[in-house]
Chains A and B, each alone.
Chain A
Amino acid sequence: MKKIAIYGKGGIGKSTTASNISAAMSEAGLKVCQIGCDPKNDSTRLLLGRICSQTVLDMVRDKDEIIAEDIVHIGYNGIKCVEAGGPEPGVGCAGRGIIVALEKLRSLKVLDDEDVILYDVLGDVVCGGFAVPIREGYASDIYIVSSGELMSLYAANNIAKGIKKFAMRGQVRLGGIIGNGRNTPNELELLQEFAARLNTKLIAFIPRDVIVNKAENNRQTVLQYASDSAQANIYRKLSQCVLKNDELTIPTPISFDELEKLVADYGN
């Protein structure tokens, strides 16, 4: 079983990337489960064609006994979709929610016969709860989605710090950086250099394409909306790289000063 987690700055395209990777892997014949670890519940929207309305934590709140069918929803191409869920903005503790949701999934054994489990985690590792996917052995291969923008790289570097900490204690490793193009100057080269500084590699660069927006507006992955498009093939290639990637490393985060200089050196 491949256990993958996707991290990255809020709004960078984690859910879109994760959903397209899931779609590509399922097309390749693998049994895939995507788990959204964000109280917004929108990770699996493109796979389900709707916002998931029945999350793990909804069930924890409303029901005494939960069965797998309550929380596992079947999306595009048979992909299992789970949303951890969480509180409304401004109340409660979403981090605690992630811990409880993942424990519940484990106790229900809903993930035991999957080929790939893909965790799509909230922007930053803001507290211990959001580190659970990498801390407790839920995911072993971590990918960080980033553009060439300074603050996106800053978030990626921070996430790398978290991965480094947990990598020292266990099996979790950084699989690489997934570049999500925002058309900044020398973006590809900058991301390649940034990845190298972090002791990893740029595993793929996804150029900006309006077809991604169109697919999203139609509540579909690119693979479903425009199966034959070049963009769909980029996601297919990315999914194969992720599956075959054996260059997993312990990251070496850099200082903010070094990051600023790096971005400046590449013309930003």
Chain B
Amino acid sequence: MAIKTKRFIASRKSCSCSMPGIWRAVAYCTGVVVIFHSPKACAHVARTMDINAQYRSLAEGCQESISSVPLLSSQLEEKHAIFGGAERLEACITYAVEHYQPECLVIANSCVAGVIGDDVEAIAKETEVKYNIPVLSLDCCGFLDGEYYEGYYGITELLVKRFLKPCKRRAKTVLFLGDNGGPWGHYATEVTRILTAMGITVIGQFPGYMPFKNLSHAAEAEAVIILGGRGQTHIGLTKIAALMQQQLGIPYLDVYPTDWAQTQAWIEAVGKLLHCEADAAKTLLHERERFTVKYAEYLGTTKGKRIVLCIGRLLKYFHPAAVLSTIKLLQLDLKGIILLDAYSDTEREEMLTEIKKYTSVPIYSAGESDSLIRQADAVLTTHELQNKKVKQIFLPMLPKVGVAGELKFMQTIYRTLCSRIQGGVRYV
């Protein structure tokens, strides 16, 4: 019998809106006011994103310490769709300026604004002259001609080009580039912990989490550390980092500490980039000791346990190397890898080729693997399975990073194997 996932796997392409991307890029840049030139309901997406971010923080035991900037909507209605929404946007801008005295305005265009062809660019230019404040507007309308990342990277690029100027750089300082859960998220906190141990100061997290008046300080960093991942995140952030290198002369690091091996490589790369190899070596030694002690605690339970790995994400979003490395470290008995029914022939071939670089275990299709699942002590999976009797460990879209991340992942596997409860899904 074929194994089935809880949810239909259909996502092939990103299908989102550029406005939340723009919002996320400046949502915590104090001094900025964001205007959605849109119907009122579009702003709801941003609100939902904020709430989700807060829940993620709470789930991780973190605490948000800063508030988001004002988000206004021009509240386009039917009549504006017919007669044009320019006047409505101008009124919204006036309101924003009078009530919030922004240091910078960012305008995001909706699908409606795009369809009716409001000349937002011209209004932005006029507003700059009228109120003597910078106004950023992206030639991107809702999901008509873009998606989330188009908005996020588009506005980030504008910020770099417009507000970041070459200046004297401060030794042993870095600038974080990207979001990945924000400054209070796992990624930033873990990376900050390691950098602090190396005597490196984090100037800020660009673009979303620097006050507008501090943006010029971003260019003081000795290096840029990308808080990246896979897919569009990696492509987009690397492009921005390359722009910063070209414009400001700041080198960047695009190695990600996504498993123990990568974390060690990352620490060494940071030391090299910031000319503090000795500090890096010392930190690496300390982290190794910490890792070894904790890891040894898990090994007694994990060694020899039967594990199955189910993969349903495309290679550009999920690389199997990190999880295979953890399985090897914990000396788990990987009985097989199941490729879920999510791939075209080409995508499947790409994933197969990549997997075979790291392991020679049998690889199955979803249709021939039910008995394999039933015999496993636990299943590591990118998609929740319908089978309620098997212990599942859900592999997150954003992998945990650094030593803490790897240990957290190992701990989840360890606890799952220790648990007397049959079935259920555990989230890393």
Interface residue ranges, A against B (CB under 8 Å): 57, 60-61, 86-88, 91-94, 96-97, 100
The 0/1 profile, CB within 8 Å of A marked 1, for residues 72-106 of chain B is 00000011111111100000000000000000000
Q: What are the residues of chain B within 8 A of A100 when measuring CB–CB?
A: 78, 82
Q: Once the chains bind, are A91 and B116 in contact (CB under 8 Å)?
A: yes
Kindly name the residue among B82, B83, B85, B117 whose own CB sees the greatest number of chain A CB atoms within 10 A: B82
Decide if A61 touches B115 in the complex (CB within 8 Å).
no
B115 touches A93 (CB 8 A): yes
Contact of B81 with A91 in the complex, beta carbons under 8 Å? no
Q: Can you give 26 A-B contacts (C-beta < 8 A)? A: A57-B79, A57-B82, A60-B78, A61-B79, A86-B83, A88-B83, A88-B84, A91-B83, A91-B84, A91-B116, A91-B118, A92-B80, A92-B81, A92-B82, A92-B83, A92-B116, A93-B115, A93-B116, A93-B117, A94-B82, A96-B81, A96-B82, A97-B82, A97-B83, A100-B78, A100-B82
Bound Cα distance A251, B80 (Å) = 37
A87 contacts B78, CB within 8 Å? no
A-B complex: 3 closest residue pairs judged by Cβ atoms: A91-B84, A92-B84, A97-B82
Distance between Cα atoms of A97 and B117 in the complex (Å): 14
Closest to B112 in A: A93
The residues of B with any CB-CB pair to A shorter than 8 Å are 78-86, 115-118
Interface SS of chain B: helix, strand, loop or mixed?
helix
Q: Of A60, A91, A94, which is within 8 A of B79 by CB?
A: A60
- Which residue of chain A has its CB nearest to the CB of B78? A100
Residues of A within 8 A of B78 (CB): 60, 96, 100
How many A-B pairs have beta carbons closer than 8 Å: the answer is 43
Contact partners of B118 in chain A: CB under 8 A:
91
Closest to A103 in B: B78
CB < 8 Å neighbour of A61 from B83, B85, B116: B83
CA–CA, A97 to B79, complex, Å? 8
Q: In the complex, A60→B81 CA distance in Å?
A: 12
Question: How many Å lie between the Cα of A86 and that of B79 in the bound state?
Answer: 10
A91 touches B115 (CB 8 A): no
Q: How far is the CA of A100 from the CA of B79 in the complex (A)?
A: 9
Residue on A nearest B116 in the bound complex, by CB: A93
Give the chain B neighbours of A94 by CB distance below 8 A: 82
List B contacts of A60 (CB < 8 A).
78-79, 82
Whole-angstrom CA separation of A88 from B87 in the bound complex: 13
Docked complex Cα distance between A61 and B78 (Å): 9
Contacts of A93 in B (CB 8 A): 81-82, 115-117
Measured CB to CB, the closest approach of chain B to A61, in angstroms, equals 5
CB distance from A125 to the nearest CB of B (A): 17
Q: Which residues of A contact B86 (CB under 8 A)?
A: 91
Please name all residues of chain B whose beta carbon is closer than 8 Å to the beta carbon of A96 when the two chains form the complex.
78, 81-82, 116
- CB-defined contacts of B84 to chain A, threshold 8 Å: 87-88, 91-92
In the bound assembly, the distance between CA atoms of A76 and B253 in angstroms comes to: 78
Q: In the complex, given contacts A92-B80, A100-B78, what are 7 additional A-B residue pairs having Cβ atoms less than 8 angstroms apart?
A: A57-B82, A91-B83, A91-B84, A92-B84, A93-B115, A93-B116, A96-B116
Of the listed residues A60, A92, A93, the one surrounded by the most CB atoms of chain B closer than 10 A to its CB is A92
Bound state CA distance, A57 and B83, in angstroms? 9
* Closest-CB distance, B86 to chain A (whole angstroms): 7
Report the bound CA distance from A61 to B83 in whole Å: 8
Bound: A86/B82 CA distance, A: 7
Closest to A99 in B: B82
Residues of A contacting B83 in the complex (Cβ-Cβ under 8 angstroms): 57, 61, 86-88, 91-92, 97
Which chain B residue has the least Cβ–Cβ distance from A39? Answer: B82
- Bound-state CA distance A57–B82 (Å) is 8
Shortest distance in angstroms between B1's beta carbon and chain A's nearest beta carbon?
44
Q: For the complex, what is the distance from the CA of A61 to the CA of B116, rounded to whole Å?
A: 16
Shortest beta-carbon distance, A108 to chain B, in Å? 16
Q: Which among A60, A61, A91, A100 has the highest number of chain B CB atoms within 10 Å?
A: A91
In whole Å, how far is B183's beta carbon from the nearest beta carbon of chain A?
Answer: 42
Q: Which residues of B contact A91 (CB under 8 A)?
A: 83-84, 86, 116-118
The chain A residue sitting closest to B118, CB to CB, is A91
* A258 nearest CB across to chain B (Å): 35
Q: Which residue of chain A has its CB nearest to the CB of B79?
A: A61
Which A residues are in CB contact (< 8 Å) with B117? Answer: 91, 93
A97 to B116, CA, bound (A): 11
Query: How far is it, in angstroms, between the C-alpha of A97 and the C-alpha of B82 when the chains are bound?
Result: 5
Nearest-Cβ distance from residue A59 to partner chain B, whole angstroms: 10
Q: How far is the CB of A126 from chain B (nearest CB, A)?
A: 13
Q: In the docked arrangement, what's the CA distance between A60 and B79, Å?
A: 7
**Which of A57, A87, A94 has the most C-beta atoms of chain B within 10 angstroms of its own C-beta?**
A87
What's the nearest-Cβ distance from chain B to residue A240, in Å? Answer: 37
